[in-house]
Copies of this chain bind each other. A is one copy, B any other.
Amino acid sequence: MKDLKFAVIGGGFMGKAHSIALATYPMYVWPTPYYPQRELIVEINDMLAAESGQRFGFNRAGTDWRQAVEDPEIDVIDVLVPNVLHYDVVMAAIEAGKHVICEKPLALDGDKARRMADAAEAAGIVNQVGFNWRLTPAIQLAKKLIDEGAIGEIRSVRSFWLGEFFNDPSVPLVWRFQKEQAGSGALGDIGSHAIDFSRFLAGEITEVQGVQQHFIKERPLPGGTGTGVVEVDDATAFMVRFESGATGYIESSWAAPGHKSDAGFEITGSTGSLSFTWERMSELRFYDGRDAADRQGYRTILVGPPHPYGEHFWPVPGYQISYSDTKVIQILDFIQAVSGEKAAPQTTFRDGLRSTLVEEAVMESARTGQWTKVARD
C-alpha cells in the first residue's frame, strides 16, 4: 500500500465533502492499493488556511495554489475553487504532471473544457470531473440492470434536478447569479448532473430543444444596499434526442417549491422501467414486465451489500449512505484508475466536456427556438 498525497484547493462546502471522503475512504474501502493522505489544503488567506487545515485534518495548509501544483510531494490536485478559476488551476496541474480531480462544471464554456480534456489526455494523467451523483449506488444499479437488458430497449428518459434553495428572493446576488462567473444558472449548477446521469444511463445526447425561465429578476447586492440583476436561468427544461433513438426531457430548477433535492429519473424501456430520486437515495424502483401477470409491480429495491459498491458501506440494505459517501465512491473510482485497475475513472474530463456541450446547445436552442445539435467533442 502506497501513499497518495492530495492537495485540496478550496476549503468551502466541497472542501468539507472531499475531506470527509478522503478521511473515511480507507475505513470503508479496505484493503486499498493507495492510502490517500490529506497532505495540503489551500485557502485564500492564512486564517482560513489554518482553520481548514485543522478542521479537515491536513498535514499542511497554504494560500497559493501554484505552490501546491509545483510541490513535488503532491500526487493529486483536487480542484474545488469557484468555476471561473478551474481552467487555470487544472491546466497548471496537468502541466506539472499531477493527477487531477476537478469539480463540475469543468469549465465555463465548451472551448475551455475541450482544451482541458485534450491536455489531460495528452499528458496521460488520471483526470476526473466531480459528477459524483451518477456514482450513487442506486444509479449504478440502474446502469447494471439496463446493461443486463432488464428493461429492454430504452424508449424514453425523464431526468431532473429540482430544488428550491434559491426560491427565496432575499438570497443575495452572489457569483452564481452572474453570467460571467457562473456560465449559467440552474442549468449548469444542477442540470449538469442530470445531463451526466442521463448520458451515463441512456447514451449520448445528439439534439436538444429547450426553454429557460427567470422568476426572480433582481436580488439584493451582497453588500446590503440596492439590488442587482440576476443574469442566469432559475429553471431550464429541454427535450432531448439520444443517439439510440430514445427521446427525453430534462428539467433543472432551483426555484421549484416542494422539491428539496429531487434529482433523479424515470426511464422507460420496451419491457420494464426504472425510477429514482435522490430524496430517497437508497431506493431504486424497478418494474420488470416479465414478472408473472398477476404479480407485476414496481419493486422498491433498497440498496445494500448485493449492489454496486455496497460491500464497502454497511452490512444491511437500507442502512443508508450519505452525500459524502458518493464522494468516497468518487475517490475509489479515481484510485482504481491511478492503480491501473481500470483505464480511467467513470467521469473523466471528456464527460465534463460533453455535459458542457449539451448545455451550450440547450442555451442556443432556447435563444433560437430551434432543435439544436450538440457539438462533437
Interface of A toward B, CB cutoff 8 Å = 13, 16, 19-20, 23-24, 26-28, 30, 35, 54-57, 141, 144-145, 150-152, 155-156, 158, 162-165, 167, 209, 211, 213, 215, 235, 237, 239, 241, 247, 249, 251, 253, 255-262, 268-273, 278-289, 291, 293-302, 304, 306-307, 313-325, 369-371
Q: Known: A55-B26, A167-B289, A257-B287. Is A281-B315 also a contact (CB below 8 A)?
A: no
Known: A16-B27, A249-B251. 13 other contacts (CB 8 A): A16-B28, A156-B235, A156-B237, A164-B289, A213-B247, A237-B239, A258-B272, A294-B306, A298-B300, A319-B323, A320-B320, A321-B322, A322-B325
CB-defined contacts of A286 to chain B, threshold 8 Å: 295, 297
- Copies of this chain present in the complex amount to 4
CB-defined contacts of A253 to chain B, threshold 8 Å: 155-156, 268
27 sampled A-B residue pairs with Cβ under 8 A = A20-B28, A23-B27, A26-B54, A26-B57, A35-B54, A141-B294, A155-B213, A155-B255, A158-B251, A162-B268, A163-B316, A239-B249, A257-B273, A258-B289, A278-B318, A279-B302, A280-B283, A296-B299, A297-B299, A297-B302, A313-B322, A314-B323, A319-B322, A320-B322, A321-B322, A322-B322, A369-B370
CB-defined contacts of A271 to chain B, threshold 8 Å: 257
Q: Known: A155-B213, A213-B155, A258-B272. Is A294-B319 also a contact (CB below 8 A)?
A: no
CB-defined contacts of A320 to chain B, threshold 8 Å: 261, 278, 281, 320-323
